[in-house]
């Protein structure tokens, strides 16, 4: 993944727990990079190792860390660093989610080696939809739940997210019912 992802993990940890904790996490994860470069590619494994080390050090399940990272990504990283793209994504939660399948197309114009997830929307009503999340990466369901929760907060919209089908549970991809 692009370095911007690891940088965002770093920013989340440092703002909540300080530089020393971040250095401990990197050491525990066996990550030797002094800094991450936003537009350089890094093996996915580095991101997973950072999350694993943070989980061990803070005695918090990795799922909880990924969920918090999803919220942080929307409310801080994306909104502050890519405000124009987030604004162009839609004026309400429903509109934004309906545009989500094409969201990373625009991101890929800036980051051409992006390997983004795929999203599809079905069963849209005025107050709900099903969001299909398709990826070759494992274990990121709680990250998506955190992203959705962050989007709800961004639009000041109380949203309920229910996992209807999961890859971990044997499905071929994750399906979330989002109701608002």
Residues lying near ligand HEM in the complex (CB under 6 A) are found at 1-2, 4-5, 78, 82, 85-86, 100, 103-104, 107, 111, 114-117, 135, 137, 140, 143-144, 147, 151
SS3 168: coil
Min dist. Cβ of residue 159 to ligand HEM (A): 12
Min dist. Cβ of residue 98 to ligand HEM (A): 12
- Tell me the C-alpha distance between 111 and 124, whole Å: 30
Min dist. Cβ of residue 156 to ligand HEM (A): 16
Give the nearer residue to ligand HEM in terms of CB position, either 16 or 108: 108
Give the nearer residue to ligand HEM in terms of CB position, either 59 or 174: 174
Question: Would you put residue 35 in left (φ > 0), alpha (ψ -120 to 50) or beta?
Answer: beta
How far is residue 21 from each of residues 17, 32, 44, 119, 140, measured CA to CA in Å?
A: 6, 15, 22, 34, 23
Give the nearer residue to ligand HEM in terms of CB position, either 104 or 153: 104
Phi, psi of 31 (to 5 degrees): -95, 120
Give the nearer residue to ligand HEM in terms of CB position, either 38 or 55: 38
CA torsion angle 114 130 67 118 (round to 10): -10
Min dist. Cβ of residue 101 to ligand HEM (A): 10
């Amino acid at each position: 993944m692009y370095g911007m992802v690891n940088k965002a993990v770093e920013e989340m940890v440092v703002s909540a727990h300080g530089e020393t904790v971040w250095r401990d996490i990197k050491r525990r994860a066996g990550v030797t990079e002094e800094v991450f470069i936003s537009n350089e590619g890094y093996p996915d494994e580095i991101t997973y190792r950072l999350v694993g080390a943070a989980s061990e050090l803070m005695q918090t399940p990795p799922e909880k860390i990924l969920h918090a990272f999803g919220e942080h990504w929307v409310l801080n990283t994306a909104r502050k660093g890519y405000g124009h793209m987030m604004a162009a994504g839609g004026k309400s939660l429903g509109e934004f989610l309906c545009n989500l399948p094409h969201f990373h197309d625009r991101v890929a114009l800036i980051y051409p080696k992006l390997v983004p997830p795929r999203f599809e929307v079905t069963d849209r009503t005025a107050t709900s939809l099903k969001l299909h999340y398709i990826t070759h990466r494992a274990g990121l369901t709680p990250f998506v739940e955190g992203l959705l929760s962050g989007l709800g907060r961004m639009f000041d919209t109380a949203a309920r997210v229910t996992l209807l089908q999961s890859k971990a549970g044997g499905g071929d991809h994750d399906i979330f019912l989002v109701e608002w």
